[in-house]
Amino acid sequence: MAHKETAEFIPLNIAVLTVSDTRNEETDTSGRLLADSLQSAGHKLGEKVICIDDVYQIRAVVSRWIASEDIQVVMVTGGTGFYDRDMTPESLQPLFDRTVDGFGELFRQISYEQIGTSTIQSRAIAGVANGTLIFGMPGSNNACRTAWEQIIKDQLDSRTRPCNFAGRLKGVNID
């Protein structure tokens, strides 16, 4: 796709997945934070789901969104640590056509200023599958806020220069 300038904001359809063995809709503050943030930025919440930290259940939900023509971005919160049940990176990586290495690197760099060397335990991850951009981030509100406000928000905004992901996603036509 050719790189073309546009001043128009293009709202994207974004799905949010909370990976947790303990959260429900009432206690899912990080998933709610992401859903509220993306809508405040002008995007559309395509779907919001909570599933347990199980490789195959995570893959099933995310695979459905990858195959859908309606979802362009998936944000996954939770399951990125080093506890035995934290399997989000292992669940997502095999689904990627391409990885977005810079997301995890930048997330850890920014997080270092907030939490010091504990950031090495963050296994934040991102990739693209079937024209769907997928982010996996830690489950804390602070981590989700950091990822959204300092990285993801601008990369999903079609007006961000010199480049952004919006024009590279399925169903987005920037002429």
Check residue 18 and give its pLDDT: 97
Biggest alpha carbon–alpha carbon distance for the chain: 47
Q: Find the angle CA(166)-CA(138)-CA(82) to the nearest 5 degrees.
A: 135
Give the homologous superfamily in CATH for domain 13-167: MoaB/Mog-like domain (3.40.980.10)
Q: Quote the mean pLDDT of the chain.
A: 92
pTM of the model: 0.93
pLDDT digits (tens, 9 = 90+) for 37-62: 999 999 999 999 999 999 999 999 99
User: Would you list the domain boundaries of the chain?
Assistant: 13-167
Q: Is the pLDDT of residue 166 over 80?
A: yes
Q: Is the pLDDT of residue 3 over 50?
A: no
Pairing status of strand 44-51 against strand 13-19: parallel
Residue partners of 4: CB distance under 8 A and separation at least 6: 167, 174, 175
Which long-range contacts does 5-9 make (Cβ < 8 Å, 24+ apart)? 5/161, 6/158, 6/159, 6/167, 6/174, 7/159, 8/158, 8/159, 9/42, 9/157, 9/158, 9/159
Check residue 62 and give its pLDDT: 98
